[in-house]
Structure formats: structure tokens, C-alpha cells
Amino acid sequence: MGTDGLVTLADIEAAARRIAPAVRRTPLLATSLGSDDTPVFAKAESLQLGGSFKLRGATNAVAQLSEQERARGVITHSSGNHAQALARAARAAGISATVVMPDSAPAVKQAATKALGAQVVLVDLAQRAAEVERLRADTGAVFIPPFDDAAVIAGQGTVGLEIVADLPELATVVVPVSGGGLISGVAAAVRALAPAVRVIGVEPELAGDLADGLARGHRVTWPSEATGRTIADGLRVQAVGELNWRHVEAFVDAVVTVSEDAIRSAMRRIILEGKLVCEPSGAVAVAGCLEHPDVLAPGPVVAMVSGGNVEPALLAEIVAGVA
């Protein structure tokens, strides 16, 4: 980390070397969203092992645990994708994992996390952090945060390394925002390698705490009953992390919000035109491109398709155009 406490390019490059055997380098896929002057590509992290970018940060964090810490096992809270990622990373490392999940998390994510060997504890969305603290006190397990952590941010930043390497002429990168781990890492990597590239964050209107905080000039927290309304279940975090907020302030150019209709439309377009299965959270960056044409400034744009873990029934509804 730098003297300012932010993740550096060296941290992200070290993470890339550390996690290379465990993660998949995902492709940039051309889309029909842009124009000849502004082509738009999808960074298909929905094709990552486990179905989301989260494996990168979880693997990097677990890889840096001491032997004493590994013996205690790991614990986290998550709506599903970090849950699966940590369960997978823990299984690969031969250590135990406990995941506290909201009882509203999609069943497909709960089942996948259990199948990877983690113990899953279901609680009300607003009680996740408190339950983790209770279990940590009882078991001594090491907490691996889903986003507010330098090792996790550095792991997610490896996505940015790949984007710049694969598309050196990149002009804009569009990233979905929940707790801020992905945008923190991607922005840190992109800003270091290509300072002129714009970094745009996208949130659901119903979970727009970061955009709200930037407008007010300080980090804010939204109630869980507000953020819990969005279809994008992976983006229902009540506030971006403190370390993530500092990365956003330092490296991100703008944050926009999108409607629920735009998220559904983007998801359907990704699936039918891009032939990529994605979840609502994974479609939010593309929704930003659809609902905010100013995001598509001249030059190549990359929109993150960050995850593909979607309930089959919802997938069917979206494809049929009835949701």
C-alpha cells in the first residue's frame, strides 16, 4: 500500500501473480451498444470460476493468511458471490469457511456456497455484520471482508490490469458499485496504467448510497429496507466501505444511478445479444451505458459484466420479457 493507505499498482501486480493459478483470465467481448467511434466491450467476469469477479479478491486475501490464521478458518458476510468465492478459495487452501448470508439471498447462491463446503448461516439483511462479530468471538475465525480490505481490493484490481493489457486504446471503463471493492481496485489499476481513462461507477437508484454520498460530500449509509428493494441483489450493501470511499474519491471520475427497468433491459440484452448469462447486479454497468449516453464518450468503452449467478426462474422471466 502507498503512504496514503491506498492500494498501489505494485499491490495489484503482486496479487495477479499470486492468484494466477486459481482464476480465469476473462475475455473482452464486442457488443452492439456503441458505434464505430465508440465501440463498447463487455468484460465477461460472469465467465469467471464461480460466476463472478469475487474469486480474485478472496483468493488474494486467503493466500496471505499465516499458518496460525489458516488454522482458525475464515468467515465473512455476503449476499452470495463473495460467499461462493471465499468458500472456493478456502476449499483450495484446505481451511474451513463460514458465511453469513441474508435470508433473502437467491437460493442458487446459497446452494452453491454450501456445495463448496462452507457453513452457511442465514440472517436478516441488517444483521449480517453483527452475526459475523458474534461468530468470530465464539470461533476465532479470521474475517475476510467482502470489499473494505486492501488485499481484496488488490485482487479485484487484477481485472483492471487485464482490461488495459487487452485494450490499450481504452477511453472509459464502467463498473458496477456495491461495497466498492471492484471499482476501487479497477480504478487504482487503470489510473496508474492509463491516467487519461475515465472510470465511471454505476449503482441502482434504489441502492445509490455512493452517488448520494458524493453529492453530499461525505460517505453515507442507507437503511437496509431501502437498498433491499433493488432487483440487483449483489448491490444491496448499505454503504461503500471506508477504504473504498477513499479510493473512489481519489480515482473515480463519476458515479451514476440506473432504474430497475434499465437493469432488466440491460440483462436481457446481454443474454440475448451477447449470449452471456448474467445476474441483475452483473448487468448494472451495461444499464449505465444504456440510460446515460454521456457515459459513451468517444473512444473504446469497457462495461463490466461482473456476475452470472442468477435464479433460473428470474432468468426465464427476463429472457421472456415479462420482468
Which spans in the chain are helix H? 9-19, 54-63, 67-72, 81-93, 107-115, 128-139, 150-166, 181-193, 209-216, 224-227, 242-251, 260-274, 284-291, 312-320
Q: Are residues 61 and 77 in the same domain?
A: yes
| The C-alpha cell that represents 152 in the structure block | 481484496
User: The domain spanning residue 219 has which CATH number?
Assistant: 3.40.50.1100
| Domain end (from 143, 170, 199) | 143
Domain that holds residue 94: 55-143
Q: Are residues 59 and 132 in the same domain?
A: yes
Q: Are residues 164 and 248 in the same domain?
A: yes
pLDDT at 3 over 70: no
Mean pLDDT of 292-313: 91
Q: Examine residue 4 and state whether it is found in any structural domain, yes or no.
A: no
Q: Are residues 69 and 162 in the same domain?
A: no
pLDDT grade for 323, boundaries at 50, 70 and 90 = low
Q: Are residues 46 and 62 in the same domain?
A: no
Least confident of 97-106, 150-159, 254-263: 97-106
pLDDT tens profile 195-253: 999 999 999 999 999 999 999 999 999 998 899 899 998 898 899 999 999 999 999 99
**Do 256 and 292 contact (CB within 8 A), yes or no?**
yes
Burial class of residue 64, CB neighbours in 10 A (0-12, 13-18, 19+): middle
Q: Are residues 47 and 178 in the same domain?
A: yes
In this prediction the pTM is 0.94
**Do 220 and 212 contact (CB within 8 A), yes or no?**
yes
- Cα dist from 72 to 97, 140, 212, whole Å: 9, 6, 39
Q: Examine residue 3 and state whether it is found in any structural domain, yes or no.
A: no
